[in-house]
Amino acid sequence: MPTSDVQSPAVTFTINDEPQKVLHRLSPDGASGDVSATTSLADYLRFTRRLPGTKTMCREGGCGACVVSVKTVEAIGDRKNGYHPIQVRLAQLNGTQCGYCSPGMVMSMYSLLESRDTLTKEDVEQAMDGNLCRCTGYRPILDAFKTFGADADQKTKDMVKDIEEAAGCKSQSGGACGGGGGGGRCAGCPRALPMSSGEAQWALPESLAKLYAAMAAVPRGRTLRLVTGNTGSGVYKHDGPFDSYISTLKVPELHAVSKTAEAATFGGAVTLSRLIEELQLLAPTAGFAHCRQMASHLLLVANTPVRNMGSWAGNLMIKHAHREFPSDVFLLLTAARAKIVVADAQGAAEEMDVETLFKIDMNRKVIVSLKLPALDDNYIFKTYKVTPRAVSAHAYVNAAFLLPVNKDTMTITEKPTLLFGGISKTFVHASATEEFLTGKSLLDAATVSGALAALQAEVVPDADPELSATEYRASLTTSLLYKVILYTLGDRLPEHLRSGGEDITRPPVVGSQKFDTDKDLWPVNQPVPKLEAQAQTAGEAEYINDQEALSDELHGAFVISTVAKAKLKGVDASAALALDGVRGFFSAKDVDGTNNIKGDNNPEELFVSDKVKYCGQPIGVVVADSPEIARRAAALVTVQYEDVQRPILTIKEAIADGQEIKPDTMMHLEINTGENVDEAIAAAPRQLSGEFQIGGQYHFYMETQTVRAVPREDDQLDLFSATQDIRDTHHTVAKVLKMPAHKINVSVRRLGGAYGGKLAYPTTVAAGAALAAVKLNRPVRIVLDVEANMEMFGGRLPYLVEYKAGVDETGKVQGLKMRYLCDAGFASSATTTFSAVSMAQNVYQATNWTVVPGHVNTNLAANTWCRSPGTTQGVAGIENVMQRIAHELKLDPWEVRKANFFKPDTKFALSASDEADHAVFTQMIDEMFTEGQIQQRKADIAAFNQANRWKKRALSLVPLRYPVHLWAKYPALVSIYDLDGTVAVSVGGIEMGQGLNTKVAQVCAHELGVSLDMVSVKPSDNLISPNASPTGGSIGSEMSCMAVRDACQELKLRLKPFQGEDKAWVQVVASASGAGVNLSAHSASRRRPETYNVFGLTAVELELDVLTGENCVRRVDLYEDAGQSLSPWVDIGQAEGAFVMGLGLFMTERHRFHPDTGKRLTNRTWNYYVPTLKDIPRDFRVKFLKNNKNDIGVFNSKATGEPPLCMTSACLFALREAVASARNDAGDAAWFDFGT
């Protein structure tokens, strides 16, 4: 830790039991020294200490990638000294895919184990609430970590014992962190280290008196920040820099906790985690029952790593500096009638209520303590937080209520406290409603209706494009007031109303995974961990930004547009170039080749040359000695615009603007199965029409767009690019640089997630870095921060689906017209409506159907491929039509689907039909309905809904037919070494977490007859795979395996003459090599004319809190026809991860844009919400259909990674049915559109 001398030139602390001494920088430009005052601990570990196992992504405490404890992931276990049981169990129980989040997961679990003697499953789920994973769906991670629980069953304990013995892991422990008196706490990201930086000063006083002295020593006019965990710098990244930093970590008075019968007192530096623990301990004490509710609510504030570092007083100070900050701590303390003590630099202290804090100047002042008074049993204390996802999200609206109640008459005996957040910067108290309720009985219906009316009249939410609609937030306030009234009345209410006073509950996650395996095929079809899993959990797996920098390596940062529709008038980089450490600025005028990163038919500029077409469009790139300097310099580049116009941001805006609907640019597909569809619709007994909107989705790969461009001898250039498409990156850089293709060497080891997001636009980052590297003849590294990544690049295409149908009374479709429209963004290089149209028939007969595609352009970043592109929207569109038909006819939606199912002799319009398909699909339905007890659960749900007005449940089923086209070309090279017979493989398919390398190794081992550990899969590159197809569409693994199988079969033919009855493999190889046989074979998979169908069926059961809109996916049964899985555990993980990603699309993830500038406002973890472990199905059951073969696939396998996502609209339909049940209770049975 820093020394106590405020003028000390160094900071000392300990990492992995080794003392560290860090020198401050000599000047604000960062040109010398080790670190600056704002260097994060993660960056220090990665770049100064060369401990790259700690990862970074969001840099705001929202993702968990950079979590460390008193040790880093490297220190608790590695391949040389043995792995820690946490690392082993996570790897062996299939808790990794891309692996980028795995070190953070490991360290969160390590911190939990270090802080407690015994654990429960609930403890594990709570501790992991700050770690995000886009790949796995969380279930296997939780299963692995729950094996450490005292409540794990004996079978589990025996299993993990065997795993650890086989892995040779070691049990390793470390001391708990003593910082802040909080026990074994993990360090959340980012954690600023206060120290000298030029004129900036730091101090670490060891008493309250010394803290006052340090504050007084800061000259007037100089800025000062007091820090405990400095977690606020993650939320408000542009605060500061400050002239002085004073840490409270070593001030014992600020960490003190004391309790009396009248009050509990907490020091200002008590962390939120410790506050929660103390409140839980206090709750059984007379007068402090409300502490249980406070603790429960605080568990929804941020996440565990942030709560472990951030203090309650720091949270209040964020609110003090940013009044819009939706501080739960502020509401809780105010409602609980807490008092705080504030002292100035002279030690003069004043006690005040919490609200007074926001009326005073806090310059040179510190919050010393909090006093929480006891409340007698006549006070009802209740709080709420309604959020876009279950945890780690700020509220749409939060509320805290303190109701003084006579329990006999239910009269409000004195003025109550009704507090709301999320309304406006100034609105806190519902004062008029407080006055109205005083002296009135809650048993009187007029009191309730009058209070709701009073609240409705005084709540006027601020309009903010980043927040939810004002109407929604206003309605939430009345719902929450009504909810607390129901909670207060409790058993006095009629039974059907009581659920309105209850919170929605989320039990611990459980699940099951069922699949077949054929031991005769092993290692193919064998359930094995991923090859890279152990390296990933230990932080040993290398990603591009983990590569050690060369001595002269530079760093780049893009300058991007701040408006969406304008003409570029001028760019002035002089201020940036004047900054010490800046080495260059490059824009369109510096491009020697073509300033186009796409084809001639749909060009997209690398850098804007004339017209700006979206906010976030690259204008140039700054290159400097460090990432920090590059980012600072990029902000100094002045860009001038002219002819600035209001942007078009949605499909409907584009249509209203008169834009012509354009055809799909990839390929034009239509379904046309009738001579006169309009007549068929008109002749049907019933007609209906409508539209359905599906929003976009950010890929949320944890490793952002990353590249290293390194000039080499002979005018060559090495590119290390995080790309799914080596060929596109290679070709684009060659064209931009006007360089021969054979001079550029592209290599990819692995990706930290991709999901289609690293297909089209790694070219932008690679070309920018390559241009700078060639111009300066120095290596250049570009790693986008999450905000730039989200603003520069688009994601899944938003859709508008229009439909008109004619049906009979059974729900059978007599005629159907549909149009799928997508928002391509500013460019049309990746329209996906051809895929949507190809999926529109799904599992149905298509008689008299017309389905057509189209797209519009908007002033958004070009949208692009995203896992199950177009196919997801295609299935959702037709399934919404089935939902609509069921509503109109008052039928069960499943019965409508059944009435339209394909027959054994059905010929699908746009894909192959197999006579076995119908049997497979029927088998799947029968198994689902039997094993999933679908009919009984439907009856139970109907009974539940009848008995509950304010809680509703629903069960929705979505079937799937997913046609697979084997369209790609993937080269493969298999080499056998004559020393020991081991085998090396490289393929054109890119490993990005989907287990491609593992499947390739399994197929290679099986074909050659060697053990799996004799096969090593090497990085992909453009020498072995010069013209490979992009890896995507769920066929990369399958077709890479096809190429490897062919190469292995060629090698077997070459080795056959050297085989003997008793001749060992190594001898055969040595003999062949000695005879001059080439032991390397190159092959390539080729486009196959055949297609096959993957079938699926998903049942989603959901519960809705009608008053708040909060919901919980109670259970999911996901059945998939995976053929004969090449690697069952890998494929199970793919299915679960795909489903949870789709759950995010339909349930939690929303894009918001500024209407005037077009800026993407949801551009980081603070405001873009992928599902957390608390959002996934509480009961998650996955089954691969047994006894099904696929002659087209390698070893009878089928694609698995994308089909499950196509069924996730079942979540939305279940939610809609639950809402419809509530509306029916209110007498409203009309159809309502329910898109995303």
385 is in an annotated binding site: yes
DSSP β-ladder status, 983-987 and 1015-1017? parallel
State the Cα–Cα distance between residues 688 and 710, nearest whole angstrom: 60
What's the token pair of residue 419?
A: 């507090």
DSSP H stretches of helix in 310-420: 312-321, 328-335
Distance CA(533)–CA(90), nearest Å, equals: 8
Q: Is 1033 annotated as a binding residue?
A: yes
Q: Give the side-chain half-sphere CA count within 13 A for 733.
A: 36
Biggest alpha carbon–alpha carbon distance for the chain: 102
Q: With contact defined as beta carbons under 8 Å apart, do 110 and 86 qualify? A: yes
Is residue 816 within a helix (H) or strand (E), and if so which, with residue range?
strand 813-823
Is 313 annotated in a binding site? The answer is yes
Write phi, then psi, for 512 (nearest 5 degrees).
-145, 150
Report how far residue 510's alpha carbon sits from residue 156's, in angstroms, rounded to the nearest whole number.
Answer: 14
Query: Any binding-site annotation on 1231?
Result: no
Could you tell me the end-to-end alpha-carbon distance of the chain, in angstroms, rounded to an integer? 49
CA distance readout (Å), 429 to 335, 424, 477: 10, 11, 12
CA 361 to chain centre: 39
How far is Cα 1042 from Cα 302, in angstroms, rounded to an integer?
Answer: 47
Ranges of H-type helices in 442-522:
445-458, 470-489, 495-498
CB 1027 within 8 A of CB 727: yes
Q: Which of 60, 125, 540, 1202 is catalytic?
A: 1202
CB distance 1040 to 1085 below 8 Å:
yes
The DSSP bridge partners found for residue 213 are none
Q: Is 789 assigned a ligand-binding role in the annotation?
A: no
- Is residue 95 marked as binding? no
The answer on whether 314 is annotated among ligand-binding residues is yes
Provide the 10 A C-beta neighbour count for residue 53: 27
312 is in an annotated binding site: yes
Q: If phi over 0 gives left and psi between -120 and 50 gives alpha, with beta otherwise, what is residue 481?
A: alpha
Cα within 13 Å of Cα(810), Cβ side: 8
Q: Which residues contact residue 75 at a Cβ distance below 8 angstroms, ignoring those fewer than 6 apart?
A: 16, 17, 174
Q: Is 66 annotated as a binding residue?
A: yes
Per the listing, tokens 């701040």 go with: 562
Is 315 annotated in a binding site? The answer is yes
866 annotated as ligand-binding: no
Q: What is the DSSP string of 582-607?
A: EEEEEEGGG-SS-SBSS-SSS--BSS
82 in a known ligand binding site: no
Please state, in angstroms and rounded to a whole number, the distance separating the CA atoms of residues 237 and 790: 16
Tokens found for residue 969: 């070309």
Backbone phi, then psi, for 330, in 5-degree steps?
-60, -50
In angstroms, the CA 675 to CA 663 distance is 22
Cβ proximity of 1124 and 1187 under 8 Å: no
Task: Write down the residue that tokens 């691969």 correspond to.
Answer: 1184
Determine whether the annotation assigns residue 967 to a binding site.
no
822 annotated to bind ligand: no
Q: Does 189 appear as a known binding residue?
A: no
Distance between CA 538 and CA 992 in Å, rounded? 18
Q: Tell me whether residue 766 is exposed, middle or buried, using C-beta atoms within 10 angstroms of its C-beta: 0 to 12, 13 to 18, 19 or more.
A: buried
Structure tokens at 257: 């906790």
- The tokens for 810 are 């059974």
Q: Where are the beta strands (DSSP E) in 200-332?
A: 201-203, 224-227, 244-247, 257-259, 263-267
133 carries a ligand binding annotation: yes
Q: Where are the alpha helices (DSSP H) in 32-120?
A: 41-43, 73-76, 85-92, 102-115
CA angle 452, 398, 1217 (to 5 degrees): 75
Query: How far is residue 626's CA from residue 396's CA, in Å, rounded to a whole number?
Result: 38
Identify whether 165 is a catalytic site residue: no
Two structure tokens written together for 43:
């960056």
What is the rounded distance in angstroms from the CA atom of residue 1085 to the CA atom of residue 1029? 10
Binding-site annotation, residues for FAD: 311-315, 385
Specify binding-site residues.
58, 63, 66, 98, 101, 133, 135, 311-315, 385, 724, 867, 1033
Annotated binding residues for [2Fe-2S] cluster, as ranges? 58, 63, 66, 98, 101, 133, 135
Could you list the active site residues? 1202
